[in-house]
């Protein structure tokens, strides 16, 4: 499990086209302050550090590599982009990078020949760290410059794309335009040419379209796809999911969001041999279970809450994080089942009865469902949303009231900045713990030794502390010229860097002189 970003390029792109677009990525690598690992060698020892990413030869290939950003010093896995790509083989079949997106959604196999002919870059975990947005901006740049022949996919949203593009355009002479996957008309034209079975037409368009699933999108579907395509879509969504499962519930919710008559959904369900969709014990009325799946979407309720805190806000620049991914799995039952569509109850019952009225008592099932849920307590989704929203509101209020309300802004502390009281208490406790390390016998011993021994101490002890190369060099110069200042830095590799919060505190203490002076007053 993790947060990924992928970049796939078609075999139609020539080395000359690629290199011209690649040149512009170097500007964004610099402006977005991307970093990679480096090392400082002294006295037959090495200290690992971070340094600004730059074009260099890596494993025999010229290009650039990054593992994070140099502003917040958040890192994850490395991503490499080469200056040169291979010359295309004229005998190769054209490979559209959209095919990779379809493979990610299980619509085609990764062994598909079209996918094998693609140039694949990035593809590692970003874990939603800040450099995720920089990589996406670079992907959108290549998408634009190569006319949609370079496509980003993975854990990305249209909101992220627009935010990344807005940031990137501040540094580029020629602005990046809307990515292919966010443009309904351009995408439809491309998808129509993909080597995909007809019955997967809407499924393919849904998987590749990154934009909002709003009225414009559904009106577009209504205009461009006939009833046959809509029926194919329903069958494809329902196939492979058993009644009573989360998968079936999610599929029904996805289907009902589309302007497809409920009666059509029922007809396709009936044609699937509903008894075969029951569990291993084969108990229960499949039609009643199917009807309950529809009712739990609250399609018959005009005003309903569609908020789901387990999902990323696709309209914003919010990125997915590993913690939210885990929560979405373990709290799966708390997902919002409401669908953004309204069908009046009488009309809904009429459509249901017209197809499955002879299979079950639609009126009775609906009445029992409504009675059961009329006085029900708030569901798990509502309770979770309330807790989540309350926490976010408190966090927002603190950020508006204080200059610094969280750990990741401590490295940027300026004299006179106000700090949230709860955070300040934690800083006081931490400083006391941090300084206690200088009471160790080893500190008294090594603080009297030469700089060489001090350097070897840092090289031996440092395991997880992330600092830029120039910060380390500044620290070493400080210690070498003023040995008494070793006291400030000795504990930084003795404390356990077991969270980003501790990383930010240590970094602020050893890197930011104004924060260090402030801490001496606590």
pLDDT tens-digit readout, 191-235: 999 999 988 999 999 999 999 999 999 999 999 999 999 999 999
Give, for 4, the enclosing helix (H) or strand (E).
strand 4-9
* Block residue for tokens 């009325």: 285
The answer to whether 167 and 175 are in contact (CB under 8 A) is no
pLDDT bin (cut points 50, 70, 90) of residue 85 is: very high
Confidence at 150, pLDDT banded by 50, 70, 90: very high
Q: Count the Cβ atoms, other than its own, within 10 Å of residue 388.
A: 15
Judge whether residue 190 has pLDDT over 90. Answer: yes
Which stretches does DSSP call E strand in 17-143?
A: 34-42, 45-52, 56-58, 61-69, 75-82, 119-125
**Model confidence at 83: pLDDT above 90:** yes
pLDDT at 398: 82
pLDDT at 42: 92
Question: Is residue 371 exposed (0-12), middle (13-18) or buried (19+ Cβ within 10 Å)?
Answer: exposed
Q: Is the pLDDT of residue 333 over 80?
A: no
- Would the pLDDT of 303 be above 80? yes
User: 402 near 418, Cβ under 8 Å?
Assistant: yes
Question: 110 pLDDT exceeds 70?
Answer: yes
Average of per-residue pLDDT across 275-279: 77
> What pLDDT is stored for residue 334 in this prediction?
63
User: Residue 463: what pLDDT?
Assistant: 87
The closest of 344, 266, 257, 336 to 300, measured between CA atoms, is 344
Mean pLDDT of 178-185: 96
For residue 232, what pLDDT is reported?
Answer: 94
| 3-state secondary structure (DSSP) of residue 57 | strand
Q: How confident is the model at residue 324 (pLDDT cuts 50, 70, 90)?
A: low
End-to-end CA, the chain: 41
Closest CA to 235 of 258, 214, 213, 266: 266
pTM strictly above 0.75: yes
Interaxial angle between packed helices 345-356 and 362-374, expressed in degrees from 0 to 180 and rounded to the nearest 10: 140
pLDDT at 335 over 80: no
Q: How confident is the model at residue 372 (pLDDT cuts 50, 70, 90)?
A: confident
pLDDT tens-digit series, residues 382-423: 776 777 778 778 788 788 899 999 999 999 999 999 999 999
Residue 320 scores a pLDDT above 70: yes
How would residue 327 be classed by pLDDT, with cut points 50, 70 and 90? low
**For the segment 483-495, what is each residue's pLDDT rounded down to a tens digit?**
999 999 999 999 8
C-alpha pair distances (Å), 484 with each of 260, 279, 454: 75, 72, 12
**CA 301/CA 345 separation, integer angstroms:** 8
Describe the chain by its helix, strand, coil percentages, rounded to 5. 55, 10, 35
Average pLDDT of the residues in 419-428 = 95
- Smallest CA-to-CA distance from 260 within 234, 239, 238 is with 234
Contact 260, 215 (CB under 8 A): no
pLDDT of residue 281: 59
Label residues 226-242 b or e (16+ Cβ within 10 Å = b).
eeebbbbbbebbbeebe
Flag whether pLDDT at 298 surpasses 80. Answer: yes
- Percent of the chain exceeding pLDDT 90 equals 76
pLDDT higher than 70, residue 512: yes
């Amino acid at each position: 499990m993790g947060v990924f970003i992928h970049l796939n390029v078609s075999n139609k792109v020539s080395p000359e086209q690629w290199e011209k677009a690649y040149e512009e990525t170097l500007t964004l690598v610099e402006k977005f302050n991307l970093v990679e690992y480096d090392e400082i060698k002294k006295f037959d020892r090495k200290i690992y550090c971070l340094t600004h990413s730059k074009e260099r030869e890596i494993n025999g290939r010229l290009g650039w590599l990054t593992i994070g950003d140099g502003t917040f010093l958040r890192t994850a896995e490395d991503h490499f982009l080469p200056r040169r790509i291979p010359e295309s083989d004229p005998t190769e079949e054209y490979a559209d990078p959209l095919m990779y997106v379809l493979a990610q959604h299980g619509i085609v196999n990764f062994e598909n020949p079209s996918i094998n002919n693609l140039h694949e870059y990035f593809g590692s975990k970003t874990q939603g760290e800040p450099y995720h947005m920089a990589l996406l901006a670079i992907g959108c740049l290549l998408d634009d410059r190569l006319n949609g022949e370079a496509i980003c996919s993975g854990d990305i949203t249209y909101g992220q794309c627009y935010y990344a593009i807005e940031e990137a355009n501040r540094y580029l002479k020629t602005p990046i335009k809307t990515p292919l996957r966010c443009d309904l008309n351009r995408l439809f034209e491309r998808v129509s040419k993909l080597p995909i079975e007809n019955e997967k037409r809407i499924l393919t368009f849904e998987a590749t379209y990154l934009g909002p699933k709003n009225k414009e999108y559904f009106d577009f579907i209504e205009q461009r796809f006939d009833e046959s395509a809509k029926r194919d879509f329903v069958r494809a969504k329902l196939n492979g999911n058993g009644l009573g499962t989360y998968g079936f519930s999610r599929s029904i919710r996805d289907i009902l969001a589309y302007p497809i008559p409920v009666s059509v959904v029922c007809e396709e369900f009936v044609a699937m041999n509903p008894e075969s969709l029951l569990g291993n014990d084969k108990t229960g009325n499949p039609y009643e279970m199917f009807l309950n799946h529809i009712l739990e979407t609250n399609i018959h309720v005009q005003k309903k809450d569609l908020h789901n805190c387990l999902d990323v806000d696709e309209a914003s620049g919010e990125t997915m994080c590993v913690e939210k991914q885990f929560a979405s799995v373990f709290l799966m039952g708390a997902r919002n089942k409401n669908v953004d569509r309204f069908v009046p109850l009488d009309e809904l019952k009429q459509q249901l009865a017209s197809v499955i009225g002879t299979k079950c008592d639609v009126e009775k099932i609906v009445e029992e469902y409504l009675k059961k849920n009329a006085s029900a307590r708030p569901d798990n989704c509502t309770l979770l949303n309330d807790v989540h929203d309350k926490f976010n509101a408190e966090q927002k209020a603190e950020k508006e009231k204080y200059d610094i309300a969280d750990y990741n802004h401590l490295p940027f502390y300026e004299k006179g900045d106000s700090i949230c009281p709860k955070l300040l208490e934690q800083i006081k406790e931490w400083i006391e713990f941090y300084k206690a390390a200088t009471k160790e016998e080893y500190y008294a011993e090594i603080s009297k030794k030469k700089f060489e021994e001090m350097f070897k101490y840092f090289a031996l002890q440092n395991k997880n502390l992330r600092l830029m190369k120039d910060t380390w060099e500044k620290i070493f110069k400080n210690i070498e010229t003023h040995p008494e200042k070793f006291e400030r830095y000795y504990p930084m590799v003795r404390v356990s860097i077991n969270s980003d919060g501790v990383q930010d505190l240590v970094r602020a203490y050893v890197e930011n002189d104004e924060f260090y002076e402030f801490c001496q007053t606590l």
